[in-house]
Amino acid sequence: MCATYRALCRHGYADLTMQDIADEWAKSKAALHYHYDTKRGLLLAFLDHLFESYTERVADPAEGTPHERLHALLAAALDPPRADATRELRTALFEVKAQAPHDDAFRERLERFDRYLQAEIRGVVGAGVEAGAFRADVDSDEIATLLVTLVNGAHSRRIVLGDDAGVPEAIRSFVDDHLVEEATADR
């Protein structure tokens, strides 16, 4: 999986060959084929691997106030560790996303990331509304949809722009202003 990671960073998705991955692994292509029949099979396994570390990283920390937990969740989804090293990987994964309309197995695996993030956000927002930390009129489903879409948009814009364009800050103030309004509207 580390070899696949490095090969994707180095070559991107479109041009990636089994040979590239075998080279990073420092083993033969035959040895690689012993484990994975095709590049597609190996990449599906790689997406499973990424999803596992995603669920470890982007999980409700379950400590602190709901407001703090939501910020921590979003920061983990927006700013992965080793952001520089992962720029190439993000770009490669963006290319993988473009395969989703053509391949249901890719689509299914990619959907899982958003579904997981959506459930975690909905949980924290729901807990915050219940505890009175967030406004009572907040719809946790709708907020989760907005925030997952903002995270997707942030990743997409970062690839095109090469920088954040103030998006993480805008998302943070959205949470502060929209969910935790000091003077709550009376409805």
Q: Residues interacting with a second copy, by CB under 8 A?
A: 12-14, 87-88, 91-92, 94-95, 97-98, 100-101, 107, 110-111, 114, 139, 142, 145-146, 148-157, 159-162, 165-167, 170-171, 173-174, 177-178, 181-183, 185-187
In the bound state with a second copy, the residue whose beta carbon lies nearer, of 50 and 167, is: 167
Cβ closer to a second copy: 52 or 142?
142
Nearest residue to 145 (alpha-carbon basis) of 123, 167, 122: 122
* Cβ 165 to a second copy shortest distance, Å: 7
Least distance (Å) between residue 28 CB and a second copy: 28
In this structure, the dihedral spanned by the alpha carbons of residues 56, 58, 60 and 65, taken in order and rounded to 10 degrees, is 130
Residue placing its CB nearer to a second copy in the complex, 16 or 21: 16
- The CA distances from residue 111 to 42, 121, 176, in Å, are 18, 16, 28
Look at residue 3 and give its three-state secondary structure: helix
Cα–Cα distance for residue pair 4/41, rounded to 1 Å: 12
